[in-house]
Amino acid sequence: MTSEQIDLTHDTELIGEYEQVHMHVFGTPLRVLDHGQGTHVWDVDGNEYLDFLAGIAVNSIGYAHPAWIEAVSAQAAQVAHVSNYFATRPQISLAAKLVELAGAPQGSHVYFGNSGAEANEAALKLAKLYGRSLGADKPYRIIALEHGFHGRTMGALSATWKPAIREPFQPLVPNFEFVPANDLDAMRAAFEATDSGPVASVIMELIQGEAGVLPLDPEFVRGVRSLCDEHHAKLIVDEVQTGMGRTGKWFAFQRDDLGGITPDMVTFAKGVAGGFPMGGMIAFGEELSNLFSPGTHGSTFAGNPLGAAAGLATIGVIEREDLLVNAEARGEQLRRQIRACGNPLFESVRGRGLLNAIVLTHPCAHAAMDWALEHGLIINAVAPNALRLAPPLVVSENDVDEAVHVLAAIPSDLPND
Ligand SMILES: *Cc1c(COP(=O)(O)O)cnc(C)c1O
């Protein structure tokens, strides 16, 4: 497909209508999408795309998986919402399943929310209750990493580094501090600055997704775990992007090459329900879990049965179709073929499983993304010089071949963004 052949008549018209009625927080949509099947999606003019973004690491089992459709349809016909005065079977099964997949100890508990930001709000509120329980005479602190991303709500934003998205909303929640990623000395210094109060918690991603898919050094991750143990602080691992099979394990913390540590809290969202809005947090162990009591936190939609059914269906497909193994194998294939493809625009490729980024020799990521889109491939300009690739976990060997075929042809002389 060449750009000249793409008809975008309906897309253009609908995008005009979109712009008139939507808040301008996302920029102009690239296309208006109509339907999807597996790893492919079609726009309203009938143009077909191979999707290597998957709704930002959300559509883990691809579009319109029959098992997902059946589970969500059946649940919709049965009961779609009940409120938290009541419980439903799917939410009970999903919570138990998540505790099992995370390998969390006996007594661990799950809180469900509806998004990644809400998952992190829950973790940060629990961290605050834990901080209070330390009983120090100084305020406790929460440490986050430079370049980390945890969401857009006020608490999650307080832990999000990027000044352009955080500073307009200051003052935010007090006593958050940022430490450079992979700088264990700086982390130790932050812990030892006890004059400004004890550290209650550290929150971090093991692969900094929005920052450009930057894996942390395993030694740093293990060092942070030790510092938390030594100073009685709780480690929150934000697996909103890395979780639910994306990196080839259920959770990135289970990978030795990302530290292989046990967190105190894990947050999840994006891929957990295969496209249904759903998120949450697992608190490891009884003591931490018990800091929340009735009334201290909640959400009307929390544990919603439709979302829970979607989650169970998604996890079921990942298990039955052996998608953790596929994520690892296709990820290796993708990185190998990108390295071998000979495009002089590509400096390097990094990532784990199916969360990867190509680093470009000059900052033209938006132009490269647009070029790929015009040639039938959806990718994402995650940083000025980095393209993120996060296809559905059901991606095939042939899909990867096709994607690399397009990537290899991206002109290396695109203008800077
Ligand atoms: C996307 C993301 C979030 C925020 O999730 P939302 O569902 O957009 O609120 C938080 N943390 C990480 C690591 C993410 O990638």
DSSP string covering 15-58, please?
Answer: HHHHHHHS-TTS-S-S--EEEEEBTEEEETT--EEEESSHHHHT
258 pLDDT band, cuts 50/70/90, is: very high
Annotated binding-site ranges for pyridoxal 5'-phosphate: 116-117, 149, 238-241, 300
Nearest atom (ligand 1) to Cα of 116: 5
313 pLDDT band, cuts 50/70/90, is: very high
- Does residue 171 have a cis peptide bond before it, meaning omega lies within 30 degrees of 0? yes
- Burial class of 262 by CB neighbour count within 10 A (0 to 12, 13 to 18, 19+): middle
The pLDDT of residue 416 is 96
Q: Where are the domains of the chain?
A: 3-61+322-408, 67-320
Q: What is the pLDDT of residues 25-60, one digit of tens each?
A: 999 999 999 999 999 999 999 999 999 999 999 999
Is 2 a residue whose pLDDT tops 80? no
**Do the Cβ atoms of 387 and 371 come closer than 8 Å?**
no
Q: Is 141 helix (H, G, I), strand (E, B) or coil?
A: strand
Nearest atom (ligand 1) to Cα of 269: 7
Q: What is the pLDDT of residues 341-375, one digit of tens each?
A: 999 999 999 999 999 999 999 999 999 999 999 99
Q: How far is CA 65 from CA 211, 310, 407, in A?
A: 30, 11, 27
The pLDDT of residue 405 is 98
CA of 94 to the centre of ligand 1 (A): 20
Ligand 1 and 47: CB distance under 6 A: no
Q: What is the pLDDT of residues 189-243, one digit of tens each?
A: 999 999 999 999 999 999 999 999 999 999 999 999 999 999 999 999 999 999 9
The pLDDT of residue 3 is 52
Mutate to test the pocket of ligand 1, among 240, 247, 253 (most ligand atoms within 8 A of CB): 240
Q: Which CATH number fits domain 3-61+322-408: 3.40.50.150, 3.90.1150.10, 3.40.50.720, 1.50.10.20?
A: 3.90.1150.10
Ligand 1 and 116: CB distance under 6 A: yes
The phi and psi torsions of 51 (rounded to 5 degrees) equal -100, 105
Nearest atom (ligand 1) to Cα of 242: 13
Q: Which CATH architecture does the domain made up of 67-320 adopt? A: 3-Layer(aba) Sandwich (3.40)
Ligand 1 and 249: CB distance under 6 A: no
CA of 45 to the centre of ligand 1 (A): 31
Please give the Cα distance from 399 to 412 (Å, whole number): 23
Six-digit token string for 326: 């596929």
Q: Please report where in the chains the tokens 């030594």 appear, as a residue.
A: 230
136 pLDDT band, cuts 50/70/90, is: confident
Please give the Cα distance from 29 to 287 (Å, whole number): 46
The pLDDT of residue 4 is 60
Q: Chain-centre distance of CA 134, in angstroms?
A: 31
Six-digit token string for 45: 């003019």
Q: Please report where in the chains the tokens 């999707």 appear, as a residue.
A: 51
- Burial class of 71 by CB neighbour count within 10 A (0 to 12, 13 to 18, 19+): buried
Average pLDDT over residues 165-169: 98
Average pLDDT over residues 127-140: 93
Nearest atom (ligand 1) to Cα of 205: 13
Its pTM stands at 0.98
Ligand 1 and 239: CB distance under 6 A: no
